[in-house]
Amino acid sequence: MPSYAAVLGHQPAISLAELASVLPDFSQSETYENVAVFETAAELDQAFLDSLGGTVILARRITEAPVTLQDIPQLLGNELANVRRKAVFSLRGVGVPRGMLRMLFKSCKQMLRSKGVACRYVGNEFKPAVPVLLRDAGLLDEKHGCELVLLQKEETLWVGRTIAAQDVDAYTKRDMDKPVRDTTVGLLPPKLAQILLNFAVSLIRELKGTPPDQEATKRKKKEIFTIYDPFCGTGVIPLESLHRGWPVLASDISVKAVNGCSKNIEWLRKEEKIFKKDTDSTVWKQDATQPFELKELPDAVVTEGSLGPAFTDRAPIKEVSKLRNENERMQAAFLENAAKTLPGVPIVCIWPVWKQREGWVRLEKVWDALGKMGYSASLPPGIEPEVPGRVSLFYRRPDQFIGREIVLLKPRKKK
């Protein structure tokens, strides 16, 4: 079974959960700092990485034979055998001493020149090549170059070739170039929106009862799911859904948000030539606590409700208590409404979490009432909750005072 290494994003636990969501046979075998080694029968490539939000770089193991660092120049030469002009190479080491990595850069260059191969390398022992450079320098194209990934732990050395890197420019374009951005509310990162959509894939597959042994075959066919975002804002989740060719349903109680989402969708359609006859989208004004009247149920609801006002410091506890109570009522009303008028539809949602001196303040009442509403929280296979007793994932940045609790809700099956 192929072995891969994923360089994880700044939220490693969430990145692993995303991989476990989209790969039913995902089996993690080792961890090297921010790199996870795993096995799957699926053939992974750049298109696969483009569908992920939490993995930065993907490498595939090139040899299962026992190797040492002294073998690296020869292994690199083998990987560059198809290069006809000047070769570009890079080394990405984890657990490899910097001095040794510096020597490997030099010995690889000397080896290639001794064979008459003109070459240059990018990155160094202090800082490996960033994703943009991997793409621009041709390191992902076997006709132009190669990056080897070296993972060392004690006597074990895993060697792979980088096969995919995150398209930072594409993310920046969808995030910054869209015509409407509302900076007065918490902006959902497009990468996180992709992760949420992949969590939805896991729930949809589970509820449909698709056997895991059929997934590898189905992955070769494009899966199409209809996603509904009832708190769409300016449309980050709808845009990411549309970007992957999925029909979109989106609504918001704010007319300003509905107009902004509609403009952004039309912009993306023009930019990526996504025709409505191929991939439909509908945006309308709707209070998410009032009955949904849809002709057909979506495959999943993926949404982020209001996080409340942004803070540049810890908010006063009285204000946090007020915000939590308001959000509890809103989330409960939405879920009760969804249970009645979107029966059987799984939900991936985000709840706000506030940073305080004593720790993080989370929603409690709505959590305790999930069972009465007809939902049960779940996590992707093999993923453990970060907070004991709360089956959820926690997304936060060190410089922010409001975090995001990611909750995956399965509707209870009717007897």
What mean pLDDT is predicted for residues 36-59?
97
Coil vs helix vs strand at 379: coil
Residue 214 predicted with pLDDT over 70 = no
Reported as a pLDDT band with limits 50, 70 and 90, residue 257 is very high
- Give the whole-number percent of the chain exceeding pLDDT 70: 96
Rounded-to-integer distance, Cα 198 and Cα 191, Å: 11
Give a three-class secondary structure readout of 79-105. HCCCCCCCEEEEEEEECCCHHHHHHHH
> Picking from 55-59, 207-211, 265-269, which range would have the lowest pLDDT averaged per residue?
207-211
User: What is the average per-residue pLDDT within 185-189?
Assistant: 80
What's the chain's average pLDDT?
93
What local confidence, expressed as pLDDT, does residue 201 receive?
96
pLDDT at 15 over 50: yes
Q: What is the pLDDT of residue 187?
A: 82
For residue 217, what pLDDT is reported? 43
Half-sphere exposure of 234 (CA within 13 A, CB side): 22
161 pLDDT higher than 90: yes
The arithmetic mean of pLDDT across residues 257-269, rounded, is 97
The pLDDT tens digits for 301-322 are 999 998 988 888 999 999 999 9
First-last CA distance in the chain: 40
User: Which has the higher per-residue pLDDT, 69 or 184?
Assistant: 69
The pLDDT value recorded for residue 296 is 96
Which residues does residue 32 pair with via DSSP β-bridges, in sequence order? 35
Query: Distances from the Cα of 3 to the Cαs of 26, 36, 243, in angstroms?
Result: 10, 10, 29
pTM: 0.95
SS3 state at 361: strand
> Domain extents for the chain?
3-166, 169-411
The tens digit of pLDDT for each residue in 353-371 reads 999 998 999 999 999 999 9
Q: What is the pLDDT of residue 182?
A: 82
Say whether pLDDT at 185 is over 90: no
Q: Hey, what are 410's tokens?
A: 């399965």
pLDDT tens by residue, 372-414: 999 999 999 999 998 888 999 999 988 889 999 999 999 987 6
**What b/e sequence results for 389-398 when a residue is b if at least 16 CB atoms lie within 10 Å of its CB, and e otherwise?**
eebbbbbbee
Domain 3-166 top-level CATH class: alpha beta
Give the class (CATH, top level) of 169-411. alpha beta
Residue 215 confidence (pLDDT) above 70 = no
Integer-rounded Cα radius of gyration of the chain: 23
Of 322, 325, 318, 336, the C-alpha closest to 411 is: 336
15 within 8 A of 130, measured Cβ to Cβ: no
pLDDT at 218: 47
Asked if 3-166 and 169-411 have one fold, the answer is no
